[in-house]
């Protein structure tokens, strides 16, 4: 179906082609991978001690040790905000602040949970592409040692970032080196760590290159967006930081009682590198969407995406009818910029249909 | 199999009868009811907006309005500690304290989460049977209005209590009346609200009698111990307290992103009063266990249980071999007191086998 | 003594003219006005009930009612950080944030006290001249109502600002109107409110024009920098916010036990508008310093100061010898910018000598 | 003047003898010792850098090192609640609780400041005489290592206690040994440390015997009740705990800007052991009051006081007229128990007059 160039927008909106079966709203609008659900069902046999004293949790923590090395220590939790708060609680010294970008999820999208639960300042620095650079850490040096300033203590990176960019392993390593030299620790918010891993080579080695090998001290390892019903993991890489985490997890309300069900989900997701394969697929769907829509006149898109999100600018009047047809979120209303996200279950047909719809509307 | 009275304990422990299929450790050692799992599986279709903008959540909140009345407002959360913290965050005014018993879960078993996240004092008062009485509230009157004291602001009751007792509806009503007259609000920690409902008549009317009808302002409604994979609900009964809860839920890390899966679980549990039926069963299994074991010489048990827990005192040397055979937790080591809990899935055969094992060991 | 233009900097530094009797470090490097000390001495007679139940405190709160109107309520506290924390604690609703500039004392110079004690996010916005404008508030509108964002709840202005600028009464009124229309309250950090009052006319009417008349809800009224030994006041202008302040003052550690001595200081300072006269003098000394030094080649100074601080840029190598001779603080090392502050006790001779020293060093 | 035994209480109340010049309300109803005021006056010369970079503060910290040893580190603060909060902030690890008695000032009389600012649970244990015993610490052992419980981390003793009792040096040492063996630190709330020092020998050696020599880790050293206008000191005895105190002091709002004036007060108080002499006097006045009133029929008083407070039980109807004549506070209204406190400035004539009044009223 080709839109008649002389049709009005309203006319074109009234004659949209078939909509995709799935939205492009967010990767947390997707459900769970079938293997995850199967694992939960299989784990629902008889009794198991609560709070992680069960075989599923033992397996999950072993799987994480396989990923991050034998001195790593993993704590399963409910959700991303909880994972970040726990990771930071484990890392912060008294009177310290957390350095992060102005786009960081902890600063913008967690309703002040870090400030409330940690009692710590978030020191935001501007990052047009969502990525910190070492110079921004060095510029904070003058705060250190002065009693009137919260002491920069933890650097929090998001990988992949809220803007869909990805730090290279060397970039993370340089940030870690700078942070450590300044006496700071490094947290990596990996709500989309699977997508970043896929983007950087799609192997466990790739994962290790920008985490444990780069010097990161603690990781929020995302499961929910990668294909779980719900569940995240806090992976402590610096053993010195692990000492009080078991108490802190309960204290910040992040200790699942029937933990076997969170663990079983991760066991399915981590099995056979499924988490990487699913993320690779999501990334590919975003690339396909970029390929098909960036050529449509009126769609303003920069270079192909690193991971699974596009941030196009559209003619303003097109946004509402397009969204009514297949949902997605605004990103920056003032610039008519929106966000299109793919997920582990986005199909090529979904992408093709969506692109067709965009093309139809833009005539 | 009858134990030979002349056999030693070790000999008897070596010849235990067949063990129960399920432990008596806790109701959170049980898995999820099959209908709950089926509901999660059914909900795992296509995409749904995150954070509760989905049909399953709409249904769950409607179901809770059916239970608690049209002005109630329900917020699904992850776990019990989270529910309690959120309920209290919604209820507290600045510089107030929470009045609760010395046995209360919030004071004893939440690793100080309330103090950390609420920044509020827990004012514990002694309660040998786990229940507050109005006189204990009145005795706090001298604190009100004095700037040097945290101001008692919220009374937190646990129903059923941590000691397996149950408040009558009139008892809750009198506590609410006293609290309200003193300017305080009332929170009910209902991690086992299903068991209490079953104990007090097993109807929705019973539930309402000790909550909304009694004047309770906010309820932590337990799902996990009642048969979910994991999930609780904060039900705000006083509409004035609901105003900021949506922000607070995210702020205290208790906003599930793929909320449809928490909601679907509750929809299955609440359907056809299943939650009450399952709790009635658990309670009956505890009564059966009491009946069978209270007559065994050496088992010191008070009156039959109100709900699903027994707190027997045993000959000290019997505890370890009994637990090795079928797990349960200590309650008060100094008194050789243990806790036996039944769950929604405990069978009569489990109970009979357990009682047989107790009898066998006690010769 | 005139510097020989051919002398080296080291030679000129070795032949400095007589140094001023007082530094230009900060207004908190000055001591207390003699009348303040006399009042403390006079108050040190016999016993007086603690925590404000004394005649001196009664007088002080009456004096503040005279300044701010009969519905205002004043709470004496120890220091500026304490005053700000208390004022914000009184103003914030749960899950709200505080909007302030990137230069604000609460965000930069209080070691994260607000985040720790309030558990609230500080939402900083850039302000090259230290002043917020209404448009910056309006731009935060998209955060309101979205559960993922801390809710902007209190706007905190500093008057006079950390950069030595002053809001006009109309500017404050417009900010208050905008804030109130958006459902926010307004806090004014008046650590140097006396200097601002002096700058805006030097009358009580001037004070009222940019506080109570402009719609400000709560004021931190600075005493320490205005000539006290130590002491500040939190003035609640919106009576709705006063309800829990007496408890909060003790809770945030800001309740002086022998309060008569803080009150007596304020009684002396407020008597006969002494606080305005002293601040006028400090402002005049800064103006005199500007007049004498802005004409010296090498001293880069913008327009004459609104209040009692200058922020000149100097030839970099001149800073150290000048500071060794008469102390002041760096402001922005990267730009060779320093801060010169006058105080209530700075004399014309101090200024003249300091200017002479600057001129001498700069040859 | 002798009361006529046949006169009614009202008649006797109408014919009271001359009242004392000072109340028996509290030691914080007394003013400052003249030497303290003289020191403040002397310190009010010219400019001095703020926040402790001045000669007076240098002298004060040296004086405290003389008292507590060369590895001690002292931080001057505003008030007792602030000192306790700072001392505990320096001592607590994440997820720990503070063990203290049910009478402790931190638990009862600080409006929940510790919970709010520290985010930590106060674990209160009953102490009829205000003193903890080692067995009470050992009974908390079962909490250690269990993730569901706040971990007892700091023991807080009050010396002299809120009930006017005094720990012997050996008692403190045994508590410290027990605490340290259990991995806990020990805080001593010394709001009345001068009175305790006087009671235990009146020498610096006595002070050291129950602090640094006994193994205490951090001390709140009271100045206000000992004769200052206002000022306390946090003395860190375990150097490991001192590392972050300078930041924490500012963060908890306890950094005086014109610190010279707090320091000068302490310099006067500590000079020539004045603090001990003044406390000895206060203690003696309490002993005198005990001697004169304990023999009056109707006054129920236990053994002579250790320090400067009496807690008599009186005929209920006598309390109001006695208080109207010379003020003191209730202690336990339900038992008609009151508190009479002496201060550094209480005179023998004050005591004699007060005792005469008691005798007169009691006929």
For residue B129, the distance in angstroms to the closest alpha carbon of chain C comes to 33
What is the value of pTM for the model shown?
0.97
For residue B264, the chain A residue with the least C-alpha distance is A229
**Cβ proximity of A96 and A152 under 8 Å:** yes
Q: Is the bond preceding C284 in cis, omega lying within 30 degrees of 0?
A: no
For residue D143, the distance in angstroms to the closest alpha carbon of chain B comes to 10
Inter-axis angle of helices A260-270 and A274-293, nearest 10:
60
Say whether residue B88 is in contact with chain A using an 8 A CB cutoff. Answer: no
**CA dist list (Å): B207 to B92, B180, B199, B203, B275:** 24, 20, 10, 7, 11
**Cβ proximity of B333 and D142 under 8 Å:** yes
Which residue ranges in chain A fall short of pLDDT 50? 1-3
**Cβ proximity of B98 and B81 under 8 Å:** no
Yes or no, beta carbons of D124 and B124 under 8 Å apart: yes
Say whether residue C255 is in contact with chain B using an 8 A CB cutoff. Answer: yes
Yes or no, beta carbons of A147 and D246 under 8 Å apart: yes
> Averaged over B35-54, what is the pLDDT?
97
Chain C contact probe: residue of A123, A150, A191 with most C CBs at under 10 A:
A150
Q: Which string of b and e fits C93-122 if b means at least 16 CB within 10 Å?
A: bbbbbbbbbebbbbbbbbbbbbbbbbbbbb
**Cβ proximity of B125 and B160 under 8 Å:** no
> How far is residue D267's CA from residue D274's CA, in Å, rounded to a whole number?
10
Say whether residue C242 is in contact with chain A using an 8 A CB cutoff. Answer: no
Q: pLDDT (tens digit, 9 = 90+) per residue, C115-142? A: 999 999 999 999 999 999 999 999 999 9
Q: Out of C112, C230, C253, whose CB is closest to D256?
A: C230
Q: pLDDT (tens digit, 9 = 90+) per residue, A57-80? A: 999 999 999 999 999 999 999 999
Secondary structure E strands in D6-87: 73-77
pLDDT at D5: 59
Task: Identify which of D249, D50, D91 has the alpha carbon closest to the alpha carbon of residue D184.
Answer: D91
For residue C29, the distance in angstroms to the closest alpha carbon of chain D comes to 5
In 3-state terms, what secondary structure has residue C157?
A: strand
Question: Percentages helix, strand, coil for chain B, rounded to the nearest 5?
Answer: 45, 15, 40
C269 falls in which pLDDT band (50, 70, 90)? very high
Residues of chain B positioned with their CB less than 8 A from the CB of A260: 31
Say whether residue D349 is in contact with chain B using an 8 A CB cutoff. Answer: no
Q: Quote the tokens at residue D141.
A: 């052992």
Residues of chain A positioned with their CB less than 8 A from the CB of D152: none
Q: Which string of b and e fits A210-226 if b means at least 16 CB within 10 Å?
A: bbbebbbbbbbbbbbbb
Q: Out of D119, D151, D251, whose CB is closest to A247?
A: D151
Q: Out of B224, B250, B258, whose CB is closest to A257?
A: B224
For residue D253, the chain A residue with the least C-alpha distance is A148
Say whether residue B247 is in contact with chain A using an 8 A CB cutoff. Answer: yes
pLDDT at C7: 86
pLDDT at C3: 47
Chain C contact probe: residue of D39, D94, D110, D258 with most C CBs at under 10 A:
D258
For residue D113, the distance in angstroms to the closest alpha carbon of chain A comes to 14
> Averaged over B61-66, what is the pLDDT?
98
Residues linked to residue B221 through DSSP beta bridges, in sequence order: B190, B233
Yes or no, beta carbons of A251 and D93 under 8 Å apart: no
Yes or no, beta carbons of D112 and B95 under 8 Å apart: yes
For residue C178, the distance in angstroms to the closest alpha carbon of chain D comes to 31
Say whether residue A149 is in contact with chain C using an 8 A CB cutoff. Answer: yes
Pick left, alpha or beta for residue C362 (phi over 0 → left; psi -120 to 50 → alpha; otherwise beta): alpha
What residues contact residue C181 under an 8 Å CB cut-off, 6+ apart?
none
For residue C247, the distance in angstroms to the closest alpha carbon of chain B comes to 5
For residue D135, the distance in angstroms to the closest alpha carbon of chain C comes to 31
For residue C150, the chain B residue with the least C-alpha distance is B247
Mean residue pLDDT across chain B: 96
Which residue ranges in chain D fall short of pLDDT 50? 1-3
Q: Out of D25, D41, D247, whose CB is closest to C37?
A: D41
ipTM comes to: 0.96
Question: Is the CA virtual torsion B297, B299, B300, B302 positive or negative?
Answer: negative
Yes or no, beta carbons of A31 and B49 under 8 Å apart: no
**CA dist list (Å): B298 to B5, B163, B303, B350:** 14, 21, 16, 21
Yes or no, beta carbons of D253 and C23 under 8 Å apart: no
Say whether residue A257 is in contact with chain D using an 8 A CB cutoff. Answer: no
- Subunits adjacent to chain B (3 or more Cβ pairs under 8 Å): A, C, D
pLDDT at D7: 86
Decide if pLDDT at C228 tops 60.
yes
Q: Which long-range contacts (CB under 8 A, 24 or more apart) does A177-181 make?
A: A177/A134, A177/A215, A178/A134, A178/A137, A178/A138, A179/A137, A179/A155, A180/A215
Q: pLDDT (tens digit, 9 = 90+) per residue, B192-227? A: 999 999 999 999 999 999 999 999 999 999 999 999
Q: Out of C109, C111, C147, whose CB is closest to A111?
A: C147
For residue C23, the chain D residue with the least C-alpha distance is D47
- Subunits adjacent to chain C (3 or more Cβ pairs under 8 Å): A, B, D
> Averaged over B306-315, what is the pLDDT?
97
> Averaged over C304-321, what is the pLDDT?
97
Residues linked to residue D158 through DSSP beta bridges, in sequence order: D189
Q: pLDDT (tens digit, 9 = 90+) per residue, C178-189? A: 999 999 999 999
Say whether residue B138 is in contact with chain D using an 8 A CB cutoff. Answer: no
**Cβ proximity of C256 and C277 under 8 Å:** no
Say whether residue A112 is in contact with chain B using an 8 A CB cutoff. Answer: yes
Chain C contact probe: residue of A26, A115, A122, A330 with most C CBs at under 10 A:
A115
Yes or no, beta carbons of C50 and D29 under 8 Å apart: yes
- β-pairing, D96-101 vs D122-125, is parallel
Decide if pLDDT at C172 tops 80.
yes
For residue D304, the distance in angstroms to the closest alpha carbon of chain B comes to 29
- β-pairing, C185-190 vs C218-222, is parallel
Token pair 């989905």 is found at B54
For residue C96, the distance in angstroms to the closest alpha carbon of chain B comes to 9
Decide if pLDDT at B3 tops 50.
no
Residues of chain A positioned with their CB less than 8 A from the CB of B43: 31
For residue B120, the distance in angstroms to the closest alpha carbon of chain D comes to 6
| Residues 65-84, chain D, touching A (beta carbon < 8 A) | none
Say whether residue C251 is in contact with chain B using an 8 A CB cutoff. Answer: yes
For residue C48, the distance in angstroms to the closest alpha carbon of chain B comes to 18
Q: Out of D82, D230, D251, whose CB is closest to C261?
A: D230
pLDDT at D1: 41
Say whether residue A38 is in contact with chain C using an 8 A CB cutoff. Answer: no
Pick left, alpha or beta for residue D225 (phi over 0 → left; psi -120 to 50 → alpha; otherwise beta): alpha
Task: Identify which of B354, B360, B358, B345 has the alpha carbon closest to the alpha carbon of residue B19.
Answer: B354
**Cβ proximity of B37 and A264 under 8 Å:** no
Token pair 């001095």 is found at D48
Say whether residue C120 is in contact with chain A using an 8 A CB cutoff. Answer: yes
Decide if pLDDT at C5 tops 80.
no
């Amino acid at each position: 179906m080709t839109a008649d160039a002389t049709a009005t927008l309203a006319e074109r909106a009234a004659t949209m082609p078939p909509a995709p079966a799935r939205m492009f709203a967010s990767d947390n609008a997707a459900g769970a991978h079938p293997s995850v659900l199967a694992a939960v069902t299989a784990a629902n046999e008889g009794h198991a001690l609560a709070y992680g004293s069960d075989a599923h949790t033992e397996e999950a923590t072993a799987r994480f040790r396989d990923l991050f090395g034998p001195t790593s220590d993993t704590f399963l939790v409910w959700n991303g905000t909880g994972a970040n708060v726990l990771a930071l609680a484990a890392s912060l010294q008294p009177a310290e602040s957390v350095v992060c970008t102005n786009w960081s999820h902890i600063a913008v999208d967690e309703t002040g949970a870090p400030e409330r639960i940690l009692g710590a300042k978030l020191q935001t620095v501007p990052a047009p592409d969502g990525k910190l650079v070492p110079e921004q850490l060095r510029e904070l040096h003058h705060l250190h040692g002065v009693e009137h300033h919260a002491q920069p203590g933890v650097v929090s990176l998001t990988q992949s970032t809220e803007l869909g960019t990805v730090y290279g392993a060397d970039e993370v390593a340089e940030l870690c080196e700078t942070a450590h030299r300044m006496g700071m620790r490094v947290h990596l918010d990996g709500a989309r760590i699977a997508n970043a891993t896929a983007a950087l080579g799609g192997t466990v080695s790739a994962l290790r290159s920008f985490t444990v090998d780069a010097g990161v001290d603690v990781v929020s390892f995302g499961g929910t967006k990668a294909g779980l019903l719900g569940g995240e993991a806090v992976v402590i890489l610096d053993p010195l930081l692990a000492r009080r985490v078991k108490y802190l997890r309960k204290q910040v309300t992040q200790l699942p009682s029937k933990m076997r069900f969170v663990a079983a989900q991760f066991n399915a997701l981590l099995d056979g590198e499924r988490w990487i394969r699913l993320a690779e697929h999501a990334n590919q769907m975003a690339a396909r969407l970029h390929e098909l829509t960036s050529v449509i006149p009126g769609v303003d898109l920069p270079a192909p995406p690193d991971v699974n999100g596009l941030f196009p600018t559209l003619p303003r009047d097109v946004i509402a009818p397009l969204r009514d047809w297949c949902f997605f979120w605004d990103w920056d209303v003032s610039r008519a910029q929106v966000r299109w996200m793919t997920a582990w279950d986005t199909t090529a047909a979904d992408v093709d249909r969506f692109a067709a719809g965009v093309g139809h509307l833009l005539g």
